[in-house]
């Protein structure tokens, strides 16, 4: 007389085995998946040829995007290489000569002026303040933005030439800060203009502002505007 454990082992040994992609599984294991007996081969291909057939059937069922024969031609690849090198040159020039628009609104503007002074000297990174929006490509929003000042901020931003970037400096510019629940304060300058870099702090130090400008330089260096333009028009 066998013990219950031996009976379970004997029953498991009598259970038929199924081959599934090089692995051995029992029929009970596949039962919750709705696979029984002969339907296993239809649901799970066992050879590589069957897997290719299944993938081709799936592509035919859901449709396959047409591949442009000119996409991989040497002429197109050469043009993409030229556009990539042009992007690198343009990004190097843009990141090495950022001219911020001084838009100080509160106490954060003092730290912004501190960053431009002799101790930190932002000019060594090619960053030079400009008072005219038409000569600027970066706007540093430093301080609390009120509802009355929001239209002026947007107007100055619209006067800046493309490409233009915005750096939000301080908690008030980021999200309202200490005056978040005030009736007259905009809860973040990103509700008025698109923001590229956020510098936290109340107020942030001059080192934090310079670090944010360096992060903006990295973001500018990753842009591929000419290559994206070419790829949109080649399709």
The number of angstroms, rounded, from the C-alpha of 8 to the middle of its chain's C-alpha atoms is 55
pLDDT score of 3: 53
Q: How confident is the model at residue 68 (pLDDT cuts 50, 70, 90)?
A: low
pTM summary value: 0.65
CB atoms near residue 160 (< 10 Å): 21
Distance CA 105, CA 63 (A): 56
- What are the domain boundaries of the chain? 4-62, 92-226
At the second CATH level, the architecture of 92-226 is: 3-Layer(aba) Sandwich (3.40)
Among residues 173, 169, 151, the alpha carbon closest in space to that of 112 is found at 169
Strands 23-26 and 100-104: unpaired
The length of the chain in residues reads: 235
Distance CA 122, CA 176 (A): 27
Residue range 110-137, pLDDT digits in tens: 998 899 888 988 888 888 898 889 989 9
Residue 59 has pLDDT above 70, yes or no: no
- Name the strand (E) or helix (H) holding 142: strand 138-142
Contacts (Cβ under 8 Å, ≥6 apart) of 195: 141, 166, 167, 168, 189
Determine contact, residues 100/160, Cβ cutoff 8 Å.
Answer: no
Among residues 91, 79, 81, the alpha carbon closest in space to that of 225 is found at 91
pLDDT score of 204: 92
Residue range 156-202, pLDDT digits in tens: 999 999 899 999 999 999 998 888 999 999 999 999 999 999 999 99
């Amino acid at each position: 007389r066998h013990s219950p454990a031996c009976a379970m082992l004997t029953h498991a040994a009598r259970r038929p085995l199924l081959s599934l992609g090089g692995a051995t599984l029992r029929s009970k294991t596949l039962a919750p998946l709705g696979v029984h007996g002969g339907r296993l081969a239809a649901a799970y291909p066992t050879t590589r040829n069957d897997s290719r057939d299944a993938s081709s059937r799936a592509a035919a069922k859901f449709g396959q995007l047409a591949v442009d024969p000119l996409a991989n031609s040497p002429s197109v690849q050469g043009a993409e290489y030229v556009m990539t090198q042009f992007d690198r040159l343009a990004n190097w020039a843009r990141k090495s000569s950022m001219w911020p628009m001084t838009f100080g609104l509160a106490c954060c503007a003092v730290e912004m002026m501190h960053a431009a002074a002799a101790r930190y000297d932002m000019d060594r990174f090619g960053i030079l303040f400009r008072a005219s929006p038409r000569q600027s490509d970066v706007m540093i929003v430093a301080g609390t933005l009120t509802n009355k000042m929001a239209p002026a901020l947007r107007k100055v931003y619209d006067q800046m030439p493309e490409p233009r970037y915005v750096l939000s400096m301080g908690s008030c510019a980021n999200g309202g800060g200490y005056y978040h629940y005030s009736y007259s304060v905009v809860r973040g300058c990103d509700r008025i203009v698109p923001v590229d870099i956020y510098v936290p702090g109340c107020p942030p130090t001059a080192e934090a502002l310079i670090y944010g400008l360096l992060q903006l330089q990295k973001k500018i260096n990753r842009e591929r505007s000419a290559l994206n333009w070419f790829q949109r028009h080649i399709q």
